[in-house]
Amino acid sequence: MIDLYTWTTPNGRKVSIMLEELGVPYTAHAIDISKNEQFAPEFLKIAPNNRIPAIVDHETGTSMMETGAIMLYLAEKHERFLPDGDEKWSAVEWLMWQMGGVGPMFGQVHHFVKFNRGKSDYAEERYSTEAKRLYGVLNKRLEGRDFIAGTGRGAYSIADMATWPWVARFEWQEVNLNEFPNVKDWYVRIAERPAVQRGYQIPKYTTEVPMP
C-alpha cells in the first residue's frame, strides 16, 4: 500500500495519474497548500522541501519526495512506463525536460499571468514567450509520434504523464492548442485514458479534465 500526499496541482496529478495507470493500491491524503498544510511537521518528515506530492511505500519502507524521483522509483519497481535500451534514456531525457523547463516556466506563467496580472509586464511577456517556445519544442517532438518517448502506442511513458498535467492548464497559460496541432492530438489522446481521468480528480473529485 502506498500513501500519496498530494493536492490538485500539475505536480500532484503526475503521481496520481501514474498510480492509477499502474493500478496499484494507494490512499490519497489531501495536503491543502492554500492553507499551508505543506508546512505541517508531520508532512515535513516525509517531504523536507515542503512541496507536494510525496509518497510512503509501506511495502518497501520507502519515503520519497520530488515527482521525477517518485515516478522513476515507481516505474522501476513495477517495470512499467520506462522503456528498455535507448528509449529508456529518451524517456528520462524528456522527463528532465519537463522538470527543468515546462514545470518551472509554466508555473511562472500561472503566477504572473493568471494570478498577478499587471504586476510586471516584463515577467508576463518573458514567461509567456518561453512557455510558447516550449509548446513549440513539444509540437516538433510529437511529429509522427503518438507519445513523447519512443515510437508507437506502446511508448506511453513517465515522460507523457509528467508533461500532460502541465499542458492541461493551457487555458491558464492563454495558449490555443490549435496552434500546436501535434500537442493537441497528443493531449486529447492522453486525456481520453480512463486512468488519466481518474488520476486528475485526486484528491478532490470536483474537476473535469479540460478539453480543447
pLDDT of 153: 55
pLDDT of 193: 97
Residue from 63, 44, 67 nearest 55 by CA: 63
Q: CA dihedral defined by 118, 119, 121, 127, rounded to 10 degrees?
A: -110
Beta bridge partners of 65: 54
User: What is the C-alpha to C-alpha distance for residues 71 and 158, in angstroms, rounded to an integer?
Assistant: 7
pLDDT of 78: 96
Tens of each residue's pLDDT in the chain, 212 residues: 999 999 999 999 999 999 999 999 999 999 999 999 999 999 999 999 999 999 999 999 999 999 999 999 999 999 999 988 888 999 999 999 999 999 999 999 999 999 999 999 999 999 999 999 999 999 999 999 999 997 755 689 999 999 999 999 999 999 999 999 999 999 999 999 999 999 999 997 666 788 88
| Straight-line distance from the first to the last Cα atom of the chain, in angstroms, rounded to the nearest whole number | 35
pLDDT of 206: 63
pLDDT of 77: 97
Determine the CATH number of domain 2-80.
3.40.30.10
Cell of 74: 515507481
pLDDT of 208: 74
> Where in the chain are the domains?
2-80, 85-198
Fold of the 85-198 domain: Glutathione S-transferase Yfyf (Class Pi); Chain A, domain 2 (1.20.1050)
Judge whether 2-80 and 85-198 match in fold: no
Whole-model pTM over 0.85: yes
Q: Three-class SS of residue 16?
A: helix
List the Cα angle 1/52/57 in 5-degree steps: 20
